[in-house]
Chain A
Amino acid sequence: MKVPSVTALRSSQNRRHALPGFSLSLGLTLLWTGLLVVLPLTALLLRPWQHGISPMIHALYDARLYAALRISFTCALLAVLIDLPIGLLLAWTLVRYRPPGHRVLDAMIDLPFAIPTAVTGIALATLYGPGGWIGSLSNPWGLKLAFTPAGIVIALTFIGLPFIVRSIEPVLRSFPKDVEEAAFLLGASAWQRFHRILLPTLTPPLLSGAGLAFARGIGEYGSVIFIAGNQPFHTEVAPLLIVMRLQEYNYDGATSIALILLVTALLCLVAVSRLRRSVSSGLVREDGA
C-alpha cells in the first residue's frame, strides 16, 4: 500500500486539491461538454455569418417569422399567467393542508415534465378537438379551443405548470409560520396575511418559476403542433417555423429564428439565476442578523 508523503500532501493542499484525479476528471468533463454542447452551439453561433451578413439580414425580412415569434411569445406569456395562480394554489394546498392523497397529487405534478411531448400533443388535441371530451362540450357554445391560439395556450399551460409549483414549494415549506401567527395575533385578516406577508416572500420564486416556464414555452414543439392547427400567421409557432424552413433547405432562415429563440431563452435564464442569487443572499442576511 502506497502512503502519500507529508510533503506531497502539503503541496497538493497548496493547490487546494487534496484529492487525486483532478486532471483526469476535468478532462473527461471538458471532453463530454465540449463535444456534445459547445461544439454544436458554436456551429449555431457561427453558421449565420458564414456567407457574410446579407443572407442573415435577408432572412430577417420575413413577416411570417415575426408572426410566429409573436404567437410563440404571447401564448407562452398567457400560459405563464394562467399557471401562476394555479401553481400557487397547488403548492399552497400541498404544503399547508396536506389533504388526503397529497402524495399522489405531489407525484402527478411532475407528470407534464415526464410524459413525452408528442404524447401530450395527441392527448390534448383529441381532448380539446371537435369530438373530444372537452371539445364536444365547448364547441356548441362557440368556444373553439383546438386548432386556434387558445389550443397553443392550453398545451403550454400543461407544460409550464410543474416549473411554477416546484419553484414555490421549497420557499413555502421553509417559510417561518410564527411570522404569520404574529400577524394573526396582531389582528391581520387572512387576506392581509396573504397579501402583505406571503406574497412578497413568494414573488421571487413565482418570478423565477415564470421565467423557467416561459423559456420552456417559447421553444416547445411536440405538445403544441398537434393542437395548434399550424396555419402561418395564425397558429404557427416559432419552433415549427424552424422545421418548415429546414424542410425547404433554407438553413439561413432556420438559424436566424433559432438564434432569436435561443437568446431570448438565455436572457430568461440569466434573469432567473440573478433572482435566485439575490433571494438566497437575502436569506443569508436575515439569518445572520
Chain B
Amino acid sequence: MNDSSKTIPVLLTLLTYGAVGLIIVLPVLLILHEALRQGLHAAFETLKDPEARSAIRLTAIVTALVTVINTAGGIAAAWTLTKYDFRGSRLLVSLIELPISVSPVIAGLVWLLLFGRQGWWGTWLAQHGIHVAFAVPGIVLATLFVTFPYVTRTLMPYMEQQGRAAEEAAFLLGAGFWKTLIHVTLPDAGWALLSGILLTTARAMGEFGAVAVISGHIPGVTETMPLHIETLYNGYQSVAAFAMAALLVLFAMTTVLIRMFLERSFRKQHL
C-alpha cells in the first residue's frame, strides 16, 4: 500500500512534466531557437526592416486604440451589471460574452458585410473617401470585436464581491458618480482591471484570423505583426518570421507572469 501510494504521485508528476514539456515548452523553445539560428544580431536586424517596423508600428497603434476603447466600455459594463439590478441584465451579459465563442474569421467577416465592397455601407463610404475595409479602421474594428469581453469578464466577479456598500456610503457622503467610480470602486478592483487590460492587450497584439480577413494584407500599410509573420514565413524568410514571433511570445509570457503575480497578491490580500 505504502509503495503504490508513493509511486503513483511520482509517476503522475513525471507524466505531467512530460506532457507540458512536449505540448507547450517544445514549441516555445523552437520559436526562440529558430529566431536565434543566425545569432541575436541577425534576429534584431530583421526587425529593423522597413516593412517589419511598419508592422510593429501598426500593431502598437491598433493595440493602444483597442485597449483604451474596450477598457472604457468594459468598466462601464462591469459597473452597470454589478451595481444595479435591472431587467435584461442576463441578456446583456450573454451579448457581451458572445464574441469569445465567435470564430476569428467570422469576427472579420461581419465587418466586411458592413463595410466591404459588397457590404451594406462600403460603396457609399468609399464614394465619400472613407475606407474601412482593407484599411486601418477595419483592423481596429475586427480587433475590438475579438477582445471585447475580457475587461468586463475579469472585472465583474470582483465588483460583484465588493458589493455596493462602499459606493452607497460614498454617494451618501456627497461624492458624485464619477468620483465614486474613480476613487472608490476602481482602486479596490485595481488588480482585476489591470489583469483584464493586460489580457486585452495580449489578445489585440496577436489577433490573426479576424485581421487577416479584413486587412487586405498590404505589406507596409495594413500588415500587423501576425500578418507580417505569415508573409515572411510563406516567403521562406524563416529567421525574420521567427524573430517577430519571438517578440510576440516574449510579450505573451510577460503578460501571463504579471497576471499570475497580480492574482496571487490579490489572493494573499484577501485571505
A48 nearest CB neighbor, chain B only: B113
> Contact at A262–B102, with CB atoms within 8 Å?
yes
A107-B245 contact in complex given A19-B84, A19-B164, A123-B27, C-beta closer than 8 Å: no
A119-B245 contact in complex given A33-B92, A242-B105, C-beta closer than 8 Å: yes
Tell me the complex Cα distance, A215–B100, Å.
10
Q: Nearest Cβ in chain B — how far from A166, in angstroms?
A: 12
A119-B229 contact in complex given A29-B92, A221-B105, A258-B106, C-beta closer than 8 Å: yes
Let me know if B40 is at the binding interface, CB within 8 A.
no
Let me know if B158 is at the binding interface, CB within 8 A.
no
Query: Which residues of chain A come closer than 8 Å to B206, judged between CB atoms?
Result: 114-119
B103 nearest CB neighbor, chain A only: A219
A111-B24 contact in complex given A26-B84, A43-B113, A218-B103, C-beta closer than 8 Å: yes
Q: Hey, what's the 0/1 contact readout for B155-192 against A, CB within 8 Å counting as 1?
A: 00000000010011001101011001100000000000
Query: Which residues of chain B come closer than 8 Å to A47, judged between CB atoms?
Result: 113
> Contact at A123–B245, with CB atoms within 8 Å?
yes
Let me know if A239 is at the binding interface, CB within 8 A.
yes
Let me know if B129 is at the binding interface, CB within 8 A.
no
Interface residues of B, count at CB 8 A: 95
Let me know if B95 is at the binding interface, CB within 8 A.
yes
B226 nearest CB neighbor, chain A only: A118
Query: Which residues of chain A come closer than 8 Å to B101, judged between CB atoms?
Result: 215-216, 219, 265-266, 268-269
A17-B84 contact in complex given A115-B248, A258-B109, C-beta closer than 8 Å: yes
Which residue of B34, B73, B84 is within 8 Å of A126 (Cβ)? B34
Tell me the complex Cα distance, A278–B120, Å.
42
Tell me the complex Cα distance, A25–B76, Å.
6
Tell me the complex Cα distance, A259–B73, Å.
27
Tell me the complex Cα distance, A243–B106, Å.
9
Which residue of B95, B141, B176, B229 is within 8 Å of A122 (Cβ)? B229
Could you write out 18 A-B pairs with CB less than 8 Å apart?
A2-B174, A19-B167, A21-B181, A22-B86, A28-B80, A33-B73, A36-B148, A40-B110, A93-B15, A115-B248, A118-B227, A122-B241, A127-B30, A158-B24, A161-B23, A239-B103, A242-B105, A243-B212
The interface of chain A, by Cβ under 8 A from chain B, is: 1-4, 9, 16-22, 24-26, 28-30, 32-33, 36-41, 43-44, 47, 86, 89-90, 92-94, 96-97, 99, 103, 105-112, 114-124, 126-127, 132-134, 157-158, 161, 190, 215-216, 218-222, 226, 239-240, 242-243, 246, 249, 251, 254-255, 258, 261-262, 265-266, 268-269
* A-B pairs, 4 with minimum CB distance: A219-B103, A116-B206, A21-B177, A32-B73
The interface of chain B, by Cβ under 8 A from chain A, is: 4-5, 8-9, 12-13, 15-17, 19-20, 23-28, 30-31, 34, 69, 72-73, 76-77, 79-81, 83-86, 92, 95-96, 98-99, 101-106, 109-114, 116-120, 141, 144-145, 148, 164, 167-168, 171-172, 174, 176-177, 180-181, 202, 205-209, 212-213, 225-227, 229-230, 233, 238, 241-242, 245, 248-249, 252-253, 255-257, 259-260
Given A111-B256, A126-B34, A218-B103, output 17 extra A-B contacts at Cβ < 8 Å: A20-B171, A28-B73, A33-B92, A36-B73, A41-B102, A43-B114, A43-B120, A108-B24, A108-B25, A114-B206, A114-B255, A115-B249, A116-B206, A117-B104, A158-B27, A219-B102, A269-B101
